[in-house]
Amino acid sequence: MKVAFAVWNGRIAPVFDVSRQVIIVEVDAGREVSRSQGMFESDDARQKADCLRRWGVQTLVCGAVSHSYAALLSQSTIKTIAFVAGEIDEIVGAFLGGRLHQRDYRMPGCACRGRRGIGCSGTKGRG
């Protein structure tokens, strides 16, 4: 399974819509197998979803994401774990350890009450 982490300055990018870089982690049996970098050429939602799909990404971990971007990702069968914040290595470790639901990894001011998916309303991404 491949998981993309939207990144900016070594942290989860605060807004996926304008992020241009992802770290792609290949996971097997709950362990990191490899890590690579992906770059987006533009902020276009369709282009980003196409790139993620072409890179074989099944899950995206990011900060805030607009409803239009989230909808396109969902249509592309990419599960979105949004409103995450923190240093990239810590977030990768939390993902691998099944701890991303913990309050420590939520964006400041997010009242998700432990729920994850597209938006703080708790709507889950498909995929």
Helix (H) or strand (E) holding 95: helix 88-96
- pLDDT at position 40 is 97
Note the pLDDT of residue 12: 97
> Model confidence at 1, in pLDDT bands (50, 70, 90)?
very high
Q: Would you say how long the chain is, in residues?
A: 127
**Are 120 and 110 a contacting pair, CB within 8 Å?**
yes
Q: What is the per-residue pLDDT across 37-66, written as a single tens digit (0 to 9) for each?
A: 999 999 999 999 999 999 999 999 999 999
Please give the C-alpha separations between residue 77 and each of 1, 25, 95, 99, 107, in angstroms, as whole numbers. Answer: 13, 18, 19, 23, 24
- Kindly list the structural domains of the chain, giving each domain's residue range(s) and its CATH number in brackets, ordered by start: 2-105 (3.30.420.130)
Q: Does residue 78 surpass a pLDDT of 60?
A: yes
pTM score, whole prediction: 0.86
Q: What is the enclosing helix (H) or strand (E) of 47?
A: helix 45-54
Strand, helix or coil at 87? strand
